Amino acid sequence: MADPLHTAICERLGSQYPIVQTAMGWIATPDLVVASTKAGAFGFLAGAVMQPAELRAAIHAIKSHTDRPFGVNFHMFQPGAAEIVDILIAERVRAVSFGRGPDAAMIKRFRDAGILCVPTVGAVKHAQKMAQLGCDMVTVQGGEGGGHTGSVATTVLLPQVLDAVRVPVIAAGGFADGRGLAAALAYGAAGIAMGTRFLLTRESPVPQTTKDRYLKAGTGDITVSTKVDGIPQRMIRNRLLAGIETAGWAGMWLRAITSAIALRRDTHQSLAELLRAANGIRSHGGLTLAQALMAAIAPMLIQRAVVDGDPDRGLMATGLVAGRIDDVPSCQELVDAIVRDARMRIDALATTAPAMRGAA
């Protein structure tokens, strides 16, 4: 009898289980990727917040600790994007994840190198477009997901996308346990992707002070804001977000400029590089320059919370599922529990179905 937990994700990505650890900026470090892949999941490195040399070193760090396959996330508007693409191809990572930046030629270049393209989308039309461009599979994030997110719940969006594309679909947004994995497989998905749940593991580099804020947050403490950069983002309410929410046009510009200055100091980017990134985001997403500049420097605001351990002066992107997470297991403990619970629930359904047919 076929193993219900051995899906297209396992076949193509090379993971033991159909579970994906997403590429959260500043959080999906080599240590977390190594831990999640050794536990049987498929891990994505957060390359979108790295310079080319830093990314190459991070890839080598992962390879030095595990021979299991892993992926890398990046976007076409980050500094050094062209060099990063060359690095990913040279290093032959198993997969790349991204938004809607790469075009058909870029996707073909990855595929010709044997690298799977697994974009994350939040709408049916975007899933269709990515499939048309030649992507190997898509991760579909419902509105419950963290960071930039849409308005359609996973339970509605997932079946819509499954009906619209013919590539394997990974479900994201609201997943944290074996019940969710069993449900996603029942919908027809090839597995689940989780960010917040992996953030709250022992191998996650997030300081304990910030993890405690995530654990303390209830669903009522989590909100979607459009004020950070004009695009809906799901985050935990805190002092910084409250200030952004109440700031006017002048306040947004002031915050964008002061944050941009700090970002230049920390990353050594030139003003031209920063403006190029902002203009790329603006042309792609239809934002104002101030919003695009905020989008370009938002990783630094997240860094304050998840790297510096200052949850009041930084942004805490989160999935709504954080409101029901109350523990910090190891990646191995987490994956084992998910697999055990999913198998139990799938087995229960398999034994219940014949009995129901007999009763009918």
CATH of the domain at 97: 3.20.20.70
pLDDT beyond 80 at 306: yes
> Is the pLDDT higher at 116 or at 75?
116
| Strand-pair partners of 13 | none
Please check whether residue 285 lies inside any domain of the structure.
Answer: yes
Where residue 99 falls among pLDDT bands split at 50, 70, 90?
A: confident
pLDDT recorded at residue 300:
78
Least confident of 95-104, 295-304, 307-316: 295-304
Tokens of 194: 């989780």
The answer on 162 and 13 residing in a single domain is: yes
What pLDDT, on a 0 to 100 scale, did the predictor assign at position 194? 98
pLDDT at 359 over 70: no
Determine, yes or no, domain membership for 1.
Answer: no
Residues 129 and 149 in one domain: yes
233-236, strands of its sheet edge to edge: 147-148, 233-236, 222-225
Q: What's the domain range around 29?
A: 8-205+329-357
More confident: 350 or 93? 93
The CA distances from residue 184 to 97, 100, 146, 281, in Å, are: 20, 24, 18, 32
For residue 169, what pLDDT is reported?
A: 98
Q: Give CA separation, 18 vs 12, 49, 59, 225, 230, in Å.
A: 10, 26, 22, 31, 34
- How much is the pLDDT for 311? 95
Cβ contacts of 156 within 8 Å, gap of 6 or more:
142
Q: Which residue has better confidence, 349 or 355?
A: 349
User: How far from 259 is each of 167, 247, 295, CA to CA, in Å?
Assistant: 40, 15, 11
pLDDT of residue 258 exceeding 90? no
At 231 the pLDDT is 81
Q: Report yes or no on 118 lying in a domain.
A: yes
**pLDDT tens, position by position, 146-201:** 988 999 999 999 999 999 999 999 999 999 999 999 999 999 999 999 999 999 99
Residue 15 and residue 156 share a domain:
yes
What is the structure's pLDDT at 252? 59
Length of the chain: 360
Phi then psi for residue 222, to 5 deg, are -115, 130
* 179 and 311 inside one domain: no
Residue 256 shares a structural domain with residue 112: no
My answer on whether 171 and 32 are in the same domain is yes
Alpha carbon separation from 220 to 41, 223, 224 (Å, rounded)? 30, 8, 11
Same domain for 341 and 222, yes or no, is: no
Q: What is the pLDDT of residue 100?
A: 64
User: How many Å separate Cα 356 from the centre of its chain?
Assistant: 39
Q: Are residues 334 and 290 in the same domain?
A: no
261 found inside a domain: yes
Q: Is the pLDDT of residue 358 over 70?
A: no
**Token pair recorded at residue 246:** 């109440």
Q: What is the pLDDT of residue 301?
A: 83
Q: Is 82 inside any structural domain?
A: yes
In a domain, 263, yes or no: yes
Q: Do 38 and 102 fall into the same domain?
A: yes
Higher pLDDT among residues 74 and 273, named by residue:
74
The confidence band for 78, taking pLDDT boundaries of 50, 70 and 90, is: confident
Crossing angle for the helix pair 124-132 and 154-164, nearest 10 degrees?
A: 30
pLDDT class of 263 with cuts at 50, 70, 90: low
Quick one: 72 and 158 in the same domain?
Answer: yes
pLDDT at 35 over 60: yes
Both 294 and 227 in one domain: the answer is yes
The full DSSP string for 208-249 is HHHHHHHHH--GGGEEEESTTTSS-EEEE--HHHHHHHH--H
- Taking all residues of the chain, what is their mean pLDDT, rounded to a whole number? 89
Whether residue 211 lies inside any domain: the answer is: no
Q: Within 13 Å, how many C-alpha atoms sit on residue 329's CB side?
A: 16
- Mean pLDDT within 265-279: 58
Q: How many structural domains is the chain composed of?
A: 2
Q: Quick one: tokens of 38?
A: 């050794």
Same domain, yes or no: 30 and 66: yes
Q: How confident is the model at residue 346 (pLDDT cuts 50, 70, 90)?
A: very high
Structural domain includes residue 76: yes
